[in-house]
Amino acid sequence: MLTPVTILTDYDRVAFRNEEIKEKMIGYRVNEYLVVSYNGLNSSQFKIYSLTTGKPAIDLRFATIEDAMGFAEWMSETYKDYLPLWESFPDADIIQLSQWSIKNGVNIAEIISKTSTKKPIHLNQMECLKEY
């Protein structure tokens, strides 16, 4: 379900290397593949990163950590069978690769690709994904 996370104490804080800025960062681990942290050097925006590669897991910026965590939880559940691909293929675009295999995958991939990455988004802007 696509809802903001409100209790961050339920998540482990982990160190990972952000490959965008080539620095070590701290983030909240969602599962063994996803971590949420601030967007590089901009601490007022948040991104979902691959814990395996340190690269952004998705090209979206979120306005709050709660929104980013909520989307990461949804992503973790929706793409759970595909996230392990990063172990062998670190540059794999999980959303594009799985669009033909998951339920409504083509629609989901289209919605995500059309979402603006120029400014941080709130989870309520992704309401259309709740039905998936």
For residue 1, pLDDT over 60 is answered with: no
The CA distance from 124 to 10, in Å, is: 22
Section 55-76 average pLDDT: 91
Average of pLDDT values for 113-119? 79
Residue 19 has pLDDT above 90, yes or no: no
Task: State the pLDDT at residue 123.
Answer: 79
The residue extents of the domains of the chain are 11-131
Confidence at residue 125, expressed as pLDDT on a 0 to 100 scale: 78
In the block, tokens 């971590």 appear at: 35
For 108-120, b where at least 16 C-beta lie within 10 A, e where not — what string? bbeebeeeeeeeb
| Predicted confidence (pLDDT) at residue 41 exceeds the cutoff of 80 | no
